[in-house]
Amino acid sequence: MRELGREMAAGALREARERCAQDREFTLNGRRWHQLAGVVGSEYNTSTGLFAEWLPYEGAKSMLEMGCGCGVAAVTAAAAGCTEVVAVDINPHAVASARLNAERHGVADRVHCVQSDLFTEVDPQATFDLVFWNSPFIDHDVPRAEGDYFADHFFDPGYRLHDRFLSELPKRLTDQGRAFLGFSAAMGELDEVAAMARRHGLELRPFRSESFTVPHEEMGAAEVFRRAADEQGRVAIDLSLMELVR
């Protein structure tokens, strides 16, 4: 378990519970987005914005965004030419947000929003040219109340969700289908997820990544930030789009 990721996610979760408790709007990738109360979005969507821009939509007719949140990648895919897009989230407020954003950006006829625990409510016969999940890559658990979906955005205890996702993914891809996982090697356990992927017949490969550094004192007073810093006192963070290859 990476202490850095755990500490960063715990702080982000505290802030999200305060900042995302009411309806909001935010701008990302040149578009305005609805964010209903109970959904993590706005300033926490930096990685989603990058990944949505990096995904290879060309030639893809069908696309699934797992854990869609506000539906940024799903709407982007539809706007890029995907004619059959499914946006899935266990959080009903996220599903409603994604639906509003599909309507807002004129792609509601192409984006089907579904409340689902991973693939459970997705048409069992459906396969996709493109699957994307900006996954909750922190292997840790935190207390949560009934109906509190905020922790699901950051944490996957024991990587149980990842294991379930990876076990079903191969049969959810078309013959030429491609799958991508949003991750961070600085904060998550990439080697553990890669080993899990291999057990399900998949190879986890880097597709595109962006890194930046932050002064450790700006991240907080926790000792873990100081320990993670380099000689210049800065902590390196990556946002990595990983491809799952059969």
Say how many domains are in the chain. 1
Structural domain boundaries enclosing 36: 3-245
Kindly tell me the burial class for residue 223, based on how many C-beta atoms sit within 10 Å of its own C-beta (0-12, 13-18, 19 or more). Answer: exposed
Kindly tell me the burial class for residue 103, based on how many C-beta atoms sit within 10 Å of its own C-beta (0-12, 13-18, 19 or more). Answer: middle
pLDDT at residue number 44: 73
Q: What is the pTM of this model?
A: 0.95
Q: Which of 25, 51, 184 is nearest to 105 (CA)?
A: 25
pLDDT at residue number 188: 95
The CATH number for 144's domain is: 3.40.50.150
Q: Digits of tens for pLDDT over the chain (246 positions)?
A: 478 998 988 888 888 888 888 999 999 999 999 999 999 977 777 899 999 999 999 999 999 999 999 999 999 999 999 999 999 999 999 999 999 999 999 999 999 999 999 999 999 999 999 999 999 999 998 888 777 898 989 999 999 999 999 999 999 999 999 999 999 999 999 999 999 999 999 999 999 999 999 999 999 999 999 999 999 999 999 999 999 999
